[in-house]
Amino acid sequence: MIGTLVNVAAILAGGSIGIVFKKQLPQKAIEVVFQGIGLVTFGIGISMFLKSEWLIVVVMAILAGAITGGVLQLDQRMERMSARLKNRFKNTGEHFSEGLITAFLLYCMGAMTILGAIDEGLGNGSELLFTKSILDGFASIALASALGVGVIFSVVPLFIYQGGITLLALYLGSFFDMAIINELSATGGILLCGLGLNILKLTKIRVMDMLPALLYALIFAYIYSHFV
Q: 88: which residues sit within 8 A by CB, 6+ positions away?
A: none
Confidence at residue 13, expressed as pLDDT on a 0 to 100 scale = 94
Q: pTM of the predicted model, to two decimals?
A: 0.75
- 25 vs 57 pLDDT, higher one: 57
Angle at 47 between CA 42 and CA 49, to 5 degrees: 90
Which among 216, 219, 105 has a CA at the least distance from the CA of 157?
105
User: What is the average pLDDT value for the chain, to the nearest integer?
Assistant: 83
Measured from the Cβ of residue 178, the count of other Cβ atoms closer than 10 Å reads 12
- Specify the 3-state DSSP secondary structure of 52: coil
Q: Compute the distance between CA of residue 71 and CA of residue 41 in angstroms, rounded to an integer.
A: 27
For residue 53, which phi and psi values (nearest 5 degrees)?
Answer: -105, -20
Q: What is the pLDDT of residues 57-113, one digit of tens each?
A: 999 999 999 999 989 888 788 777 766 665 665 555 556 777 888 888 888 876 678
Task: Name the amino acid, one letter, at 8.
Answer: V
Which among 200, 79, 103, 191 has a CA at the least distance from the CA of 151?
103
Kindly tell me the sign of the dihedral angle through the C-alpha atoms of 88, 93, 95, 101: negative
Question: If you ran DSSP here, which 8-state letter would residue 90 be given?
Answer: T
- Specify the 3-state DSSP secondary structure of 150: helix
Q: Among 77-86, 118-127, 181-190, where is mean pLDDT lowest? A: 77-86
168, 183, 60, 39: CA torsion to nearest 10: 120
